[in-house]
Each structure stands twice: as structure tokens, then as C-alpha cells.
Amino acid sequence: MPSPPSVLILFAHPALEKSRVNAVLIEAVRGLPGVTFRDLYEEYPDFDIRVEQEQSLLLEHDIIVLQHPFYWYSSPAILKEYQDLVLQHGWAYGNGGEALTGKTVLQVITTGGRETAYQREGINRFTIRELLVPFEQTARLCGMDYLPPFVAHGSLAMTPEAALKHADDYRRVVEALRDDAVNRDPIREHDRINSEAAMAFVGVRVGG
Amino acid sequence: MADDIFVQAFVYLMAAVVAVPIAKRFGLGSVLGYLIAGFIIGPFGLGFVGDEGEDVLHFAEFGVVIMLFVIGLELEAEKLWNLRRSILGLGGLQVLATTVIIGAATLALGYSWQIALAIGLILALSSTAIVLQTFNEKGLMRTEAGQNGFSVLLFQDIAVIPIIALLPLLAVAEATGGDDHADDTLISGLPGYAQALAIVGVVVGLIVVGRFLLRPVFRFIASAGIHEVFTAAALLIVVGIALLMGEVGLSPALGTFLAGVVLADSEYRHELEGDIEPFKGLLLGLFFISVGASIDLDVITGDWLNVTLIVVGLVIAKLAVLYALGVRFGMGFDQSTIFAFSLAQGGEFAFVLFSLAEEGGVLTASLTSPLIAAVAISMAITPLLFLLAEYVLLPKFGTKETENREADTVDEENPVIMAGFGRFGNYVGRLLRANGVGVTVLDNNANHIEVLRKLGIKSFYGDASRMDLLRSAGAADATLVILSMGDVEKQLELVHKIRHEFPGLTILARARDRRAATRLLNAGVEHVYRETLDSGVKMGTDALGMLGFRQHQAVRAGRNFRYHDEYHLREMAEEAGEDHMVPISVARERLELLERTLKSDIEDDGDEERDAGWDTDSLRRDVASRSGPGSEDG
């Protein structure tokens, strides 16, 4: 059945031609029905983000996906610029800022290091969830539901097959979110939405 | 000797050339220099100039006429309207109070009230020529004292007309003179009301013609592009108006002033000003010399006590009135002092009016001779009074108030001056204006100016390589000057002059091509903009995007290219040194430049480094060496 576009993917990669995993991931979701794919670096090569246009896109969609490589424990520069400019006070947060209330945010990231590196004992000393706190809090302040992130670890040494597996999972998650077929509450217990345990709650009709 | 006009011209010019720089060097100002020069060559000095000095004086009065035209050009009608309080209030009260005091003194000496009134009125006037020249020279025109002084002088110039009309009515004796000046006019045969109507008609006609007819005429002349014809047209207007005013019995100075005001908001204002300025300066100089030469030593020595008393009395009476008015009108001590000392002399109109009064039977020659001598002396000592105020009174008692309080309201100058507003400059100007930055445009294309004016952009017709034009456009107060015209020769000439005259101005220059850019760089311009560089790079960038490059990569590649191209341009410019002056053929030079540019592109091949931050190759090698090849991650 034809559904109105409900998923907005905001994709940020400054050098996609050098990417191995993200390039595969986007192929899995680009063009899906009900999914709007927006390539920020392609859209705004000069960083001149048109705020009104981006705000109306946010208004038109219920699920906002932020997809990007995990650079220096954060996003590539344009996504920061996007947040700074688009999430205006009085619109996204603060007095009268309720435009985004009730929407859902899913962050989709690729990391060079493996999952074991993102632990107390690991080289990065913090978990992914801890390191993503600024994004999570941004979503919360805007009244949005921040789901556990989709993380593709170890992209530096990832085989093509592993990348395809991630791509498949990514498509399933996006479709499930689009169709409101994610059992959110049990998923919240998990570090990432694409862990094997969490994927069990993806693609099942809520209450069905 | 006097038969030969060249000999006369030689004497006058020599006197000016010798005396004025010396007077300036001793801090006396040019006016005093001219006056001294005049006295020295006059009948009581070396005697080079004899009776014809009188004729020269009349001729040189035309300098005052031109000066009023130039002053009018600087005074838009709106500003004139803003000055109405000081013109009518300050000027009116000054004439009234001075007339009353001097008149009363004359009465006390036993003269009739008619004589007292005539002398009072005539002596109430000050010297527009000397005062304004001195204000300009000392940069006082925009101070409170300068503005108020100007207002008073303007009122006096207007007051001359009713005074001329009044004098015959004061006659007690039969007219002794031959021709009464007021009687030679075209309209003198008409009845009184018709004369009044004719005068009003002429003034209104002047305004209408100036407003609607002169501008198209100037545009037509300007489009011919022959500079001296424009100058001739400017002079023609001034002479024509002076003649017309004479015919209806109005002051020529007032008429040209009015014409100046009418043209003050036209795009030709600065060009007119610049063209006429040298004539004004020379004629005024001649005028001052004539005044100096006309000082009659026989009268002064024969009647030295009376003359001295008149001079002292006149100056003191004027000082008192002016100072009191200055304070009353809200000026502080410093400004009131300058105001009072600057205007405390008799004026050139006194010469004319005294002779009219004599001819009209109001005054006798025995009365006017010492008075004329006293007026001349008071004019001659004006520069000395200025010096007294400036170097004795103010340093001792002055409060050093800031003089800038009123300056803002006089004229706001834009921070950016643009030379050229054609197909390149219009982008620059529009961008600046869109962001609230005031731009003054100079362009020698009358059609550009026409359009800009309609859009309310402050713009003036003229060749920007003329320093006087640039100066009157506000170069002294501006921050940037943008040379957006296309002619590199003109630009280089301008750059040279600007760096010399306005070292504080930052220059931005458009360059037609690499060669022009090189020359501008070597002329010391730091900010050079090749007119095709950015669109060329933009097109290349878009082409890369259309060929499948990521947009962001294409933009970065474009920027990188641009950066290197600028870098190499500057390097080559340095290498070239004065080379560009070597007369090799332009085409060959262009080819050589192109060759060197292309070569430098090839040398710059290793630009990959700038993206290394996004590159994961080395990280991947790192990971691989630690965990061994083929390792897999879920």
C-alpha cells in the first residue's frame, strides 16, 4: 500500500568516494517507498543550509534518521552546522519550540574501531551510548524519542559480506520504523538497535 | 606698462606666486598673502599697478560670484532649509544689532539718522570672500563656528538687495552721481509691481531651468566626452546667470548661489565643482590682490586718527555683537570666539554700497573715503584677527571643546567609494547596499549615473582619476575605495595618486585579466580581483559535479584551484618585477603567462593531502597489521 513519506534520512559523508561501508548502507535504503533520502554534503557543498526548507522537511516526516561516519566521537561538520541552524530556538526547543515533539530519532553510524574498543577497558574508554549523549540530549530537548543507535563497528577491516549484512539490517530497521513495526520498549534496553537481540523486536507489529 | 595685458598678468601672477607661499609658510594664510602682495604692487607700494586696479577689482569680484556658486553646489536645498534658523535668526540679529550700534554711534557724533542708518547697514556686512576662504583653508567650514559664520554671510548677501533698494530713499541731498546703478537694468522702466514680478519670475525661472533643463544639457555635453567643453559649459552657466541677475538688479553672487543649490543634488555636482574650482581660486586671489592694491595710503595718512578709530570701533562693535550672538545661539567659548573673530570686518559689498550711497546723495565723499579705507584695513587685518584668536586667545582661555558635535548633521559620507558602476561594479555595489553599507559611486558614463540616481544611489558623474572629484566624494573620510572600472591604465594612475593623497584608504581593484592583475599587484594593490576568475572556477566546479564528482568535492576542488592560482599569480608578479613594462608584444606576453600558469598546475598535482583527514587507508593498514589480514568484524 502506498504510504506517505514518513522516514527522512539525513546523510552526511564528506568523502563518500572513499567510503566502503556507508556507500553500501545507503544503497540499501535509497529509493525505498516512504523514505526521503537527503545527502547533506551533496545538497549543500558550500554549507549554505537553507533552514526553512530543512525545517519543512522535518515537519513532513515522523522518523528522522541521522546517518554518518563516527568522526572524532561526533559527526562530520555539516551535521553540526545543520543542528546549529535548523533546530532553532522557539521552533525546535524552548518557548513555543514544539515543531518536532513526538517524532523519533535514529542515529546510524559506522565506526572504525570494533565494539570492544568502546568499553571502559577499551581504547575509547566510553561506550557508544555515552559518546552519543550530545545527540541523544539534543533529540530529548526537542521532545523527540531517541532510539538506541544503529552502529556498524569495525568498518576499517570490514569484509564486503559483513557490510552487506549491515545494509540488510539497516533496510529492515528503516522499513519497520516506517511501518510502525518496532516494539520500542524492549529495544530501549539494548546498546544498539542492530544487535542480534534487539533485532528480534524489529519488524513485528506493535500489539499485533 | 599698463597697456600690455601680459605685463599686467605677469605682475599679478608674480605677486601671488611670491607672496602667497611665503605668507603660508609664516602661518598667515593665503588671504593675507594676497592682500600684502596687492599692497606691494599697488600705487602706494612699488606702483606697478595704477588706476586700472579699480577695474581689476570689479573684474575680480567675479571670483566672489563663482565662489558663491561653488558654495551653493555644496549646499543641497534640504541642508539650506536646515540652516534657516541660523541664517534668519543669527544673520538677521547680527545685521540688526550691528546696524543699531554703529548707527547709534554715528548719531552720537551728530549726523542725521539717514546717514547713521546708511553707514550702520553698510558696515554691518562682513567679507564673504575673506571669511569663507579662510574657513576653507583652516578646515573650519564644518565646525559650528564655520556653519554659523556661513549662515550670517549668506543672510548678509541676501540683505544687500534691500539695502541697495533702500539707499536712494535715504538721500537728503540731490543725487550727485552720474548713473545710478539701479537704473541701468532692463526692467527699470517698468512700474514697481512689474519689477517685483519680473524679479520673482527670474528667480523661479532659474530654479526651474536649473532643475529640469540643465541636467539633460549636461548629460548631452558629458556624453560628448570632451572635458574642456564641460568646463566651458560650467563657466557659461555662471557668467550667464551673473549677467541675467545684473539685468534685473539682483546680486549676481546670489543668483549663482541659487543655481549652485539647484544643482547641488545633481550627479554633475562634483564635476562642476572640480572644473570651476581653479577659476574660483585664481579670481579670488586676484580679488584679494586688488583689495590690497586699493588701500589708499593718502587717505589713511591724512586722516589716520579717524581711520584708526573707525577700524577699532568697527571691529570691537562687531566682535561684541557676534560673540554675544554666538553664546546666545548655544556655541561654547571656543566656537563663539572663532565665530566672532572671523566675521569682525567690513565686507567687499561696502565698497560698492559706499559708492552707490555717494552717487545717491546719501553720504559725501569726505565721509566715505575714510570709511572705505577703514573697511579695507579691517579686511586686511582679518587674517591677523584669526591668528590672534587661534594662537593667543584659545590656547590661553580655550576649553578645547570638541568641535565634532555638529559635523555629523552637515553631511554624512559613505564608507565606500566606487569608481565605476558598470557590468562589474554593479554586483559589488548592490551587495554592499543590500547589507546596509553606504556607497558613493563615481562613473563617467552619464547613462549609468542616470539610472543609479533614479534608484536613489548617491552617484556622481566624473572621471574618478581626478583627485578633486575623489576628495569631494568624501575620500578623506571613507574606508575603502573600490576601483571597479575596467581601464587598467586609469586604475594604475589612480592607485598611485590615492596612495599618495589618501594613504589611509584601502584599495580594492578589479583586474581585467592576469596581466592587469600583475600590474596592479606590482603597483602595491593588495586586494586584486580578476573579473573572470570566479565565474570560470564556478563553471569548472559545476562541470565536475555534472561529471559525477560529489558536489562537496567539486566545490573543494574549485576552491583549491582558486587558491593555487592566486598563489601563483602573486609569485609570478613578484618574479615579473618591473618586467611588465618591457615593451614585448602583449599577445606574446599573454601566451607566456598562460604557459607558466599551465605548468604550475602540473607542478601542483599532489593536492591529495588536504583530504587526508577523511582518508582511512593508513588507519586500515594499522588495523590490519594488528589483527592480521582477513580479520572480520560482525
Q: B193 in contact with A at a CB cutoff of 8 Å? A: no
Q: B575 in contact with A at a CB cutoff of 8 Å? A: no
Phi, psi of A109 (to 5 degrees): -130, 155
In order, the DSSP letters of B48-78 are SS-TTHHHHHHHHHHHHHHHHHHHHHTS-HH
Predicted confidence at residue B23, as pLDDT, reads 81
Helix (H) or strand (E) holding B419: strand B416-419
Could you give the CA distance from residue A57 to residue A38 in angstroms, rounded to a whole number? Answer: 10
- The alpha carbon of residue B391 and the mean position of all alpha carbons in its chain are separated, in whole angstroms, by 27
Give the pLDDT band (50/70/90) at residue B187. Answer: low
Could you give the CA distance from residue B550 to residue B566 in angstroms, rounded to a whole number? Answer: 24
Could you give the CA distance from residue B31 to residue B236 in angstroms, rounded to a whole number? Answer: 27
pLDDT of B97 over the 60 cut: yes
Predicted confidence at residue B578, as pLDDT, reads 55
Predicted confidence at residue B181, as pLDDT, reads 46
Percent of chain B exceeding pLDDT 70 equals 87
Residues of chain B contacting residue A41, judged by C-beta atoms under 8 Å apart: 550-552
Q: What is residue A188's three-state secondary structure? A: coil
Return the minimum-mean-pLDDT range out of A184-198, B118-132, B190-204, B388-402. Answer: B388-402
Could you give the CA distance from residue B360 to residue B358 in angstroms, rounded to a whole number? Answer: 5
Residues 6+ apart with CB under 8 A from B8: B1, B2, B49, B52, B56
Q: A176 in contact with B at a CB cutoff of 8 Å? A: no
Q: Which residue has the higher pLDDT, B534 or B29?
A: B534
In chain B, whose CA is at the least distance from the CA of A13? B614
Could you read off the pLDDT of B367-424 as tens digits, one per residue?
888 888 888 888 888 888 888 887 777 777 665 544 433 332 334 578 999 998 888 9
Q: B614 in contact with A at a CB cutoff of 8 Å? A: yes
pLDDT of B64 over the 80 cut: no
Could you read off the pLDDT of B276-299 as tens digits, one per residue?
888 888 888 888 888 777 777 777
Sheet of B439-443, strands arranged across: B459-461, B439-443, B416-419, B480-483, B506-511, B527-530
Predicted confidence at residue B631, as pLDDT, reads 32
Predicted confidence at residue B177, as pLDDT, reads 43
Phi/psi-derived region of residue B251, left when phi > 0, alpha when psi is between -120 and 50, beta in every other case = beta
C-alpha cell, A88: 532553532
Predicted confidence at residue B627, as pLDDT, reads 54
Query: Taking Cα atoms as reference points, which of B440, B73, B477, B415 lies closest to residue B449?
Result: B440
C-alpha separations of B87 from B215, B239, B330, B331, B610 in Å: 29, 26, 15, 15, 69
Give CA angle at B571 (B568, B573), nearest 5°.
110
Residues of chain A contacting residue B622, judged by C-beta atoms under 8 Å apart: 156
Give the pLDDT band (50/70/90) at residue B318. Answer: very high
Percent of chain B exceeding pLDDT 90 equals 18
- Bridge partners (DSSP) listed for residue A7: A35, A63
Q: What is residue A110's three-state secondary structure? A: strand
* Range among B222-236, B329-343, B604-618 rated most confident: B329-343
Q: What is residue B460's three-state secondary structure? A: strand
Helix (H) or strand (E) holding B509: strand B506-511
Give the pLDDT band (50/70/90) at residue B166. Answer: confident
Could you read off the pLDDT of B459-479 as tens digits, one per residue?
887 777 778 788 878 888 899
Q: B626 in contact with A at a CB cutoff of 8 Å? A: no
Q: What is residue A70's three-state secondary structure? A: coil
Q: A157 in contact with B at a CB cutoff of 8 Å? A: yes
Q: Can you point out the beta strands (E) in A5-94? A: 7-11, 35-39, 63-69
Could you give the CA distance from residue A18 to residue A3 in angstroms, rounded to a whole number? Answer: 34
Predicted confidence at residue B629, as pLDDT, reads 38
* Range among B82-96, B134-148, B349-363 rated most confident: B82-96
- Closest CB from A20, A43, A157 relative to B631: A157
Query: Taking Cα atoms as reference points, which of B295, B327, B325, B324 lies closest to residue B311?
Result: B295
Q: Which residue has the higher pLDDT, A98 or B620?
A: A98
CB A33 within 8 A of CB A66: no
Residues of chain B contacting residue A156, judged by C-beta atoms under 8 Å apart: 616, 619-620, 622-623
Side chain identity at B539, as an amino acid letter?
A: M
CB A157 within 8 A of CB B633: yes
- Closest CB from A45, A115, A157 relative to B552: A45
In chain B, whose CA is at the least distance from the CA of A14? B552
Could you give the CA distance from residue B189 to residue B535 in angstroms, rounded to a whole number? Answer: 72
Residues of chain A contacting residue B619, judged by C-beta atoms under 8 Å apart: 112, 156
Residue with cell 548629460: B219
pLDDT of A148 over the 50 cut: yes
Could you read off the pLDDT of B571-604 as tens digits, one per residue?
888 777 555 544 455 556 666 777 777 776 666 6
Average of per-residue pLDDT across B293-318: 85
Predicted confidence at residue B3, as pLDDT, reads 60
Side chain identity at B263, as an amino acid letter?
A: L
SS percent in chain B: helix, strand, coil, step 5 = 70, 5, 25
In chain A, whose CA is at the least distance from the CA of B611? A15
Predicted confidence at residue B540, as pLDDT, reads 95
pLDDT of B521 over the 80 cut: yes
C-alpha cell, B349: 559689498
Side chain identity at B500, as an amino acid letter?
A: H
Give the pLDDT band (50/70/90) at residue A161. Answer: very high
Q: B3 in contact with A at a CB cutoff of 8 Å? A: no
Shortest Cα distance, chain B CAs vs residue A55, angstroms: 22
Query: Taking Cα atoms as reference points, which of A115, A134, A27, A85 lies closest to residue B633?
Result: A115
CB A67 within 8 A of CB A109: yes
Give the pLDDT band (50/70/90) at residue B69. Answer: confident
Predicted confidence at residue B408, as pLDDT, reads 29
- Closest CB from B552, B619, B634 relative to A41: B552
C-alpha cell, B453: 540616481
Q: A15 in contact with B at a CB cutoff of 8 Å? A: yes
Query: Taking Cα atoms as reference points, which of A133, A117, A11, A142 lies closest to residue A65?
Result: A11
* Interchain pair B627, A156: CB under 8 A: no
In chain A, whose CA is at the least distance from the CA of B556? A45
* Interchain pair B552, A159: CB under 8 A: no
Return the minimum-mean-pLDDT range out of A94-108, A166-180, B131-145. Answer: B131-145
Give the pLDDT band (50/70/90) at residue A13. Answer: very high
pLDDT of B182 over the 70 cut: no
Phi, psi of B127 (to 5 degrees): -95, 105
Shortest Cα distance, chain A CAs vs residue B627, angstroms: 9
Three-state SS across B152-171?
HHHHHHHHHHHHHHHHHHHC
Return the minimum-mean-pLDDT range out of A177-191, A192-206, B118-132, B164-178. Answer: B164-178
Predicted confidence at residue B387, as pLDDT, reads 83
Average of per-residue pLDDT across A135-162: 95
Mean pLDDT of chain B: 80
CB B336 within 8 A of CB B149: no
Instruction: Tell me the domains of chain A and their CATH numbers.
Output: 7-199 (3.40.50.360)
Instruction: Tell me the domains of chain B and their CATH numbers.
Output: 5-405 (1.20.1530.20), 412-614 (3.40.50.720)
C-alpha cell, B232: 566651458
* Interchain pair A14, B620: CB under 8 A: no
- Bridge partners (DSSP) listed for residue B418: B441, B482
Residues of chain B contacting residue A115, judged by C-beta atoms under 8 Å apart: 634
Q: Output the pTM of the full model.
A: 0.57
Predicted confidence at residue B51, as pLDDT, reads 65
Give CA angle at B588 (B584, B590), nearest 5°.
110
Mark B452-464 as b/e (b = at least 16 C-beta within 10 Å). Answer: bbeeebbbbbbbb
CB atoms within 10 A of CB B348: 25
Could you give the CA distance from residue A109 to residue A67 in angstroms, rounded to a whole number? Answer: 6
Could you give the CA distance from residue A95 to residue A91 in angstroms, rounded to a whole number? Answer: 8
Average of per-residue pLDDT across B212-222: 84
- Bridge partners (DSSP) listed for residue B511: B530
Shortest Cα distance, chain B CAs vs residue A170, angstroms: 14
In chain B, whose CA is at the least distance from the CA of A160? B632
Mark B514-539 as b/e (b = at least 16 C-beta within 10 Å). Answer: bbbbbbbbbbebeebbbbebeeebee
C-alpha cell, A187: 529495544
